[in-house]
Structure 1
Amino acid sequence: MVVPRKKWITMADDMNRIAFSVIFGFSLITTALTIGSTGGDEKMVAFFSLLLAVVSFIFFIISYAKQN
């Protein structure tokens, strides 16, 4: 059975959106767990997790906009 190319592209776009959502969720959870800590290293982890969440959200919006 041959799957049409358009269906593969649609499935790949859906997987990209799912991946960005998972990365965004884990980044926000990591940020929430480490933001209240007092150590410098933990605050740096929280900052980079928040930065990763923002970047993944931007890519999520771009992939959603390309769909429509």
Structure 2
Amino acid sequence: MGQHPKGDFDLTRAVWQRAEGDTSDSAVEVAFVDDLIGMRNSAEPDGPVLVFTQAEWDAFVAGAQDGEFDLD
């Protein structure tokens, strides 16, 4: 199976989501499109988008759940 090139990430079908209840003007938003995940700042909807493979996203979520990014 070939790997999806991140450069071909088509954002036209992206449905951006943020944390439930977050109504701030500047929030982290994510979109799941095909086999890639995009992350952006809602304050800059036309700004840069970080793009992750499913494996990268899974590792990020697992790290967050395990407290890997806690500041304590």
Which structure is higher in helix share?
1
Considering Cα pairs closer than 8 Å and 6+ residues apart, tell me whether 1 or 2 has the greater RCO: 1
- TM-score where L is the length of structure 2: 0.25
Which structure is higher in strand share?
2
- TM-score where L is the length of structure 1: 0.26
Which has the larger Rg? 1
